[in-house]
Amino acid sequence: MNALPVLLAETVSDGGVWASVNRTFVESRWAYPLLLVLVVGNVVPLLVSFLVWAERRGSALIQDRLGPNRVGPFGLFQSFADLGKFLFKEDVTPGHVNKVLYCLAPAIAVIPPLVALAFVPYGRNVMMADVDTGILACFAVSSLHVYSVTLGGWASNSKFPLLGGVRATAQMISYEIALGVSALAVLMVAGSLRLQDVVLHQADGWTVHGETLGAWSRFLDWNVVKQPIGAIVFLIAGFAETNRHPFDMPEAESELAAGYHTEYSSMKFALFFLGEYAAMIVVSALFTTLYLGGWTLFGLEDVLADWVRSSAPEAGWINWAQVVEGVLHSGIFFTKTLALLFVFIWVRWTLPRFRYDQLMRLGWMRLLPLSLAWLALTAVGVGILR
């Protein structure tokens, strides 16, 4: 990826050492990913704070309440007030914990989801790490998230956190398999592990025996249409992966106090919170990429981009056409992701929690066979139609 020079049509070049250093940096392969890291790394925590607000107000509306509506317009800044509270609270480290692991766990909760987001394509040129094995890298990193729960539960050195941690470990490992297998079917259809290819594959219409069907097939090209069972399995497993209702075993308030983060307070607790929501964003982003066509919109995104580009200012210091395209693509992407995140919230306030044995039975005896069968079916289908 070396798109920053494209983005910045003419770099400021007045000569001199500084300008040449500047130019060298801008044209290096690090500049553009770094810029994106800066943007996404700030957008995601912001999105989390917005999500927490949405969760609280959404749940309130579902329960015919009002929810937090005091801080800022519609209570939008509630999360920042909470953040302030978390920062100024006493950071209690109980005497009986394993200090190193206890401090490590919240950090592990936040880092993997944020890293995993680097592999997701937000637009044609908006991507931090265009890895050929994108999906594998993404899974590899995001599954590290389980360590935060496990270590948090273990290091706390008390009953409920340990139980929560153990449950979470079992649950996340079990559902990871169904998640992986259903994603495998998608990769089979797309014929590539590169997430960008998976996205593009969903925007070019159906190809049967090497012939591309008409433009209408673009509208049926999302994997959620081609892979309905896989999508359902992925979504359910995704809920379990992120410990969301109805699979919130690790924290199950009524059984385990607060599960693995019972012993945590102030900012460490807030980090677990941030991690949980960031993991939710990762799963939503992945679902969008794998099943909902990523940043594409039935090919309309290019039409739109052309239209906007024609009215964009002349390329000067900044290449507006590129910027507009990037913003448009990531706008489409985030709209889909946000819709999915709303589903997460919506489900949480609708369904009751599973019992632990039901959870395990669902994971191993329903979802896993189902996803395997679907994988076999997909393989046959791909074999016939290719």
Partner 1 sequence: MAYVTVRRRELTFAERLYLPSILKGMAHTLKHFVGAGGRAGVTMQYPEEKWQLPSFYRGVPSLVKDADGRGKCVACSLCEYVCPPRAISIVPKSIEGVVEKAPEVFDIDMLRCIFCGYCEEVCPEEAIFMSKEYEICGETREELVFHKERLYEIGATLGADAGVPDAERKWAKLAREQGEQGVTGG
Q: Counting contacts by CB under 8 A, is residue 365 touching partner 1? A: no
Own/partner long-range contacts of 203-212 (Cβ < 8 Å, ≥24 apart): 203/293, 203/296, 203/298, 203/299, 203/301, 204/299, 208/385, 209/385, 209/386
Q: Rule CB under 8 A: is residue 208 a binding residue for partner 1?
A: no
Label residues 286-305 b or e (16+ Cβ within 10 Å = b): bbbbbbbbbbbbbbebbebb
Q: Which of 105, 109, 145, 115 is nearest to 41 (CA)?
A: 115
User: With CB under 8 A, what is the number of residues at the site for partner 1?
Assistant: 13
314 binds partner 1 (CB under 8 A): no
Binding part of the chain for partner 1, among 168-176, 195-203, 254-262, 345-353 by CB under 8 A, reads 345-353
Indicate the DSSP class of residue 204.
S
Q: Which of 63, 93, 212, 335 lies at the binding interface for partner 1 (CB under 8 A)?
A: 63
Piece of the chain touching partner 1 by CB under 8 A; list 74-82, 168-176, 277-285, 344-352: 344-352
Chain residues 65-84 in contact with partner 1, contact rule CB under 8 A: 65-66
Tell me: does residue 327 bind partner 1 (CB under 8 A): no
267 lies in the site for partner 1, by CB under 8 A: no
Asked if 121 interacts with partner 1 (CB under 8 A), we say: no
Please give the Cα distance from 312 to 304 (Å, whole number): 12
Based on the shown chain and the rule CB under 8 A, indicate whether residue 232 belongs to the binding site for partner 1.
yes
Give the residue with the Cβ less far from partner 1, 236 or 280: 236
CB 279 within 8 A of CB 142: yes
Minimum distance from CB of 188 to partner 1 (Å)? 24
Least distance (Å) between residue 62 CB and partner 1:
5
Please report whether residue 349 would count as binding partner 1 according to CB under 8 A. Answer: yes
**Other beta carbons less than 10 A from residue 322's beta carbon:** 22
- 349, 58 in Cβ contact below 8 A? yes
Any contact of residue 104 with partner 1 (CB under 8 A)?
A: no
DSSP reduced 3-state for 208:
strand
Q: Does 303 bind partner 1 (CB under 8 A)?
A: no
Q: Cis ω on the peptide bond leading into residue 246 (within 30° of 0)?
A: yes
Write out the binding residues for partner 1, residues 2-61 only, by CB under 8 A.
Answer: 58, 61
Which listed residue (62, 323, 379, 382) binds partner 1 by CB under 8 A? 62
Which value, in Å, is the radius of gyration of the alpha carbons in the chain?
Answer: 23
Binding-site ranges for partner 1 (CB under 8 A): 58, 61-66, 232, 346-347, 349-351
